[in-house]
Structure 1
Amino acid sequence: MNNPEMNMKFMQIAMKHLPEGKKFLDEKGIELNMEDLQPMLELLLNVMSEAYELGKDHASDESN
């Protein structure tokens, strides 16, 4: 899926939860700056996109 609007919504969700993830890493002694976090954010966006598509396919299958 390459839907810019959906990607923006996924990014907003990721940014909402970023402080929680950063706190977890800090407590583990793992120091990361935003540049370091960028690949992880992209991975998270890919996961959310796949989960969205899976849910969409599942909903479509159930409506048939």
Structure 2
Amino acid sequence: MNNPEMNMKFMQIAMKHLPEGKKFLDAKGIELNMEDLQPMLELLLNVMDEAYELGKSEAVEQPK
């Protein structure tokens, strides 16, 4: 992540949806603690960052 402020916003979004993801994994019989979830959170943050950058570049290319 290049922007610490954006990274914090992404982490807040991820944490908001974490209980839903944990519930899904629990229903599948996959037990993970927060230490186990950390690599997945990092992956999710990377995806969110790339999606943000893609949207940002498209917005610059196609001004309203």
How many angstroms apart in 1 are the aligned matches of 2:27 and 2:63? 45
Runs of 4+ in 1 over 4 A off after TM superposition: none
Normalization by structure 1: what TM-score? Answer: 0.97
Aligned-residue Cα RMSD (Å) equals 1.2
How many angstroms apart in 2 are the aligned matches of 1:30 and 1:58? 38
Normalization by structure 2: what TM-score? Answer: 0.97
Could you list the runs of 5+ residues in structure 1 that have no partner in the other structure? none
Is residue 2:5 matched to residue 1:5? yes
Could you list the runs of 5+ residues in structure 2 that have no partner in the other structure? none
How many angstroms apart in 1 are the aligned matches of 2:63 and 2:22? 40
Offset of residue 63 of structure 1: 1.3
Map 1:1-64; keep pairs closer than 5 Å: 1-63=1-63
Q: How many residues align?
A: 64
Please give the secondary structure, in 2, of the residue aligned with 1:48.
helix
